[in-house]
Chain A
Amino acid sequence: MTFRDDVKYQESHEWALKDDNLVIVGISDYAQDSLGDVVYVELPDVGDVKKKGDSFGVVESVKAASDVYMPVSGEIIEINADLDDNPSNVNDSPFDSGWLIKIKPSDPSELDSLMSAQEYKTYTEGLEE
């Protein structure tokens, strides 16, 4: 299980990485492992504006459909359209080719409230019990 430590996490298992003035978002390694094989990812339209905590899409695995939530408020600048043909990238490479969206944050300080890798790891260990 990888807990990449240069990204921040939220309780609904998305990670957020600050990349210049954008925030890249995906789901954690822990999340993809729990979901099982991802077969489809429904993503928002570029230009949509959403608030922190809003659902921005759905990750569909063999087992179930799971909503994914905005870690920060802002405008959707780019979506990972490659996932249409390669949804298994979410499983194989959750932090790289499996990224979901890029956000132009309206309030970058919202990132500060997210968990560090260590905090998130401790949080997931609590879920196992």
Chain B
Amino acid sequence: MKHVPLYRTHVDAGAKMAPFAGWEMPIQYPAGSIEEHRLVRRSAGLFDVSHMGRLKVTGTGAAAYLDRLVSSSIAKLGVNESTYGLLCNESGGVIDDLFVYRLAESWLVVVNASNAEKDIAWFRSHLPESGATLTDVSDQTVMFAFQGPQAIALLDHDTGGRASAIERFHAALIDVCGVPCTVGRTGYTGEDGVELFAAADHAERLWTGILALADRHGVDAGPIGLAARDSLRFEPGFPLYGHELDEQTTPVEARLTWACDPDTDFIGRDAILERKRAGAERKLATVVMEERGVPRQGCDVYHEDRCVGVVTTGLYAPTVDAFCANVYVESELARTGSIVHIDIRGGRKRAVVASRPLYKPAYR
């Protein structure tokens, strides 16, 4: 099991550690995951997500190379801009979802920990003979997210206002708590905030520095584990690979065609366009339980007496204050207001398809 550089810091803070994608990660801190979720929605929370894969791409051919592999329009990115995108196979199936930052002299690609090895192999196998170099910088760097309505204003105190000067989905090189960081105004919570990339040697200084900064300015903030990260990403409708996404699912079923630029010739484009034209048999929908019960991944979804789909994520959503689930169901039933029943341990519980997202991101 792999350890992030701050493993000991998390254990000392009372975190419950558990295996996630080959890493021993903090799942929750003593406050508990529901309180952690609420803390991020009302103030600010700090996440160590250094398990995620970080790849650096350089060279004159880097833009063309990434544009061929990533579904969104890489070539249109200016320096210090970023985009969400998908890595697809020839049939349009999703190999991974990722974030690409165009920095001054390189490109930073952030991928899921669970797919890092597979992604790197895919990226390497498509490298041109010259013009682009791919380096896995995961081990020498850390990645933190600092998210919540107070996050930007707090970082402004430390950076002379340089945090709020970064536009949404843009990035900048800034010293945070004395640590040189690549700071992206991005995140996975539906709140405003940043994701920070720094040298692994500076991990402790940056982590404790941000928490101490919050303390000094009287801002309620604390460390957030992966359990709250899951409920925070669920409410605004962000997919999680292995749940809403896999290689048998295309962006059409996953409602991610907005992240696909049909004008760029990325791998999988033609299959995705064809699927879109023909219409998907099943689609992602978000349901709210009308009867009590916690749906879990793998629970069958019924319409009348027919099995029409499956749960990909199910949980208690703290801000929505309801039991909710993401499901793949027959496209006809994926419409707002459809009634389905979810089989929870043999009992079928009524749920209604809700309009997405359940929680509108604060920055939208």
Residues on B with beta carbons closer than 8 Å to the beta carbon of A65: 294, 296, 345
Complex interface: stretch among A34-42, A104-112, A116-124: A34-42
Residues on B with beta carbons closer than 8 Å to the beta carbon of A88: 34
Residues on A with beta carbons closer than 8 Å to the beta carbon of B227: 36, 62-63
- A-B Cβ contacts below 8 A, count: 38
B27 touches A40 (CB 8 A): no
CB distance from A63 to the nearest CB of B (A): 7
Interchain CA distance A39-B230 in the complex, whole Å: 15
Residues on B with beta carbons closer than 8 Å to the beta carbon of A60: 294
Taking CB atoms and an 8 Å cut-off, the chain A residues in 55-73 that contact chain B are: 58, 60, 62-63, 65
Interchain CA distance A58-B346 in the complex, whole Å: 13
Taking CB atoms and an 8 Å cut-off, the chain A residues in 9-54 that contact chain B are: 36-37, 39-40, 42
CB distance from A57 to the nearest CB of B (A): 11
Q: Mark each residue of chain B from 335 to 364: 1 if its CB lies under 8 Å from any CB of chain A, else 0.
A: 000000000010000000000000000000
CB distance from B287 to the nearest CB of A (A): 16
A96 lies within 8 A of chain B by Cβ: no
CB distance from A16 to the nearest CB of B (A): 24
Q: Mark each residue of chain B from 11 to 35: 1 if its CB lies under 8 Å from any CB of chain A, else 0.
A: 0000010000000000110001110
Q: Given A40-B316, A62-B315, A62-B316: A84 and B34 within 8 A (CB)?
A: no
Q: Mark each residue of chain B from 199 to 223: 1 if its CB lies under 8 Å from any CB of chain A, else 0.
A: 0000000000000000000000000
Contact among B32, B231, B294, B316 for A91, CB-based, below 8 A: B32
A40 touches B32 (CB 8 A): no
B294 touches A37 (CB 8 A): no
A62 touches B323 (CB 8 A): no
Q: Given A58-B345, A62-B315, A63-B27: A36 and B323 within 8 A (CB)?
A: no
CB distance from A84 to the nearest CB of B (A): 7
B306 lies within 8 A of chain A by Cβ: no
CB distance from A39 to the nearest CB of B (A): 4
Residue with the highest number of chain A CB atoms closer than 10 Å, among B16, B27, B292:
B292
Residues on B with beta carbons closer than 8 Å to the beta carbon of A40: 292-294, 316, 323
Q: Given A62-B227, A62-B316, A63-B227: A37 and B34 within 8 A (CB)?
A: yes
Interchain CA distance A91-B294 in the complex, whole Å: 17
Residues on A with beta carbons closer than 8 Å to the beta carbon of B294: 39-40, 60, 65
Taking CB atoms and an 8 Å cut-off, the chain B residues in 270-306 that contact chain A are: 292-294, 296
- CB nearest neighbor in A for B231: A62
CB distance from A129 to the nearest CB of B (A): 16
A36 touches B32 (CB 8 A): yes
Interchain CA distance A84-B345 in the complex, whole Å: 18
Interchain CA distance A117-B68 in the complex, whole Å: 64
A36 touches B293 (CB 8 A): no
Q: Mark each residue of chain A from 76 to 117: 1 if its CB lies under 8 Å from any CB of chain B, else 0.
A: 000000001000100100000000000000000000000000
- Provide 10 A-B residue pairs closer than 8 Å at the C-beta atoms, listed in order of the A residue: A36-B28, A36-B227, A39-B323, A40-B316, A58-B345, A62-B28, A62-B33, A63-B227, A65-B345, A84-B292
Which 7 pairs across A and B sit closest by C-beta, in order of nearness? A39-B316, A60-B294, A37-B34, A37-B32, A62-B33, A62-B227, A40-B294
Known: A40-B294, A40-B316, A65-B294. 7 other contacts (CB 8 A): A36-B28, A36-B227, A37-B33, A39-B34, A40-B323, A62-B231, A65-B345
